[in-house]
Structure 1
């Protein structure tokens, strides 16, 4: 299509690639809001569910851990489950970003500025 135009053809290709990346990034941002991950602690006694963007959506606590004498243990389990969910959300986010960058011919570990 741009044969013989030299660098103009390269510029058009870069612009097209940039537009594709912008569209895919917007779709990914939308998708990350609906993708969920679940982190857990205490062998599943506490589960935290978050979006792939890291927003906490739900907390499920097995009633068997409610012992007034073990308040600190329960708090630690809750925090551990939330941290696990956040770590899984970050991993999922990175995984999905990797799919986009690879699809555009960029290295899988390419870090986007956002």
Structure 2
């Protein structure tokens, strides 16, 4: 880019890449707030949907599991579905961050904040 300026040209290139990465990170942040994953438990009897940032958006419970004497089982299934959704959200967010890192030419194992 700035040939003949030595390390100053390299610095300008690095600044350009950093600005580009900052823009891509902001876009990914917005996407992560809108993309959802669904976790489930009890073979699909309880489903929890959350954003890739882990914010709960929906909870679907099959009415067949509502028996007064099985209250604890229902509570456990709900918690398991929520945990599954949050784990999937975290895994997907990390995969997206890794993909962005690789596109920018950064090392695969570099952890980016979000």
Band the TM-score falls in, shorter-chain normalisation? over 0.9
Tell me the matched-pair count: 114
Which one is further off, 97-106 or 73-82? 97-106
Give, in whole Å, the separation in 2 of the partners of 1:31 and 1:41: 26
Shift of 1:4: 1.1
Matched, 1:69 2:69: yes
1:80 corresponds to: 80
Structure 1 stretches of 4+ moved >6 Å: none
* Partner Cα separation in structure 2 for residue 102 and residue 80 of structure 1: 33
Query: Is residue 104 from structure 1 mapped to residue 78 from structure 2 by the alignment?
Result: no
- Which runs of 5 or more residues in structure 2 are unaligned? none
User: What is the CA distance between 1:99 and its match in structure 2?
Assistant: 1.2
> Which runs of no fewer than 5 residues in structure 1 stay unpaired?
none
Normalised by the length of structure 2, the TM-score is 0.97
1:29 aligns with 2:29: yes
Root mean square deviation of aligned Cα: 0.8
Cα deviation for residue 14 of structure 1 reads: 0.6
Cα distance, 1:17 vs. partner? 0.6
Q: Does 1:92 align with 2:92?
A: yes
Normalised to the residue count of structure 1, the TM-score between the two structures is 0.97
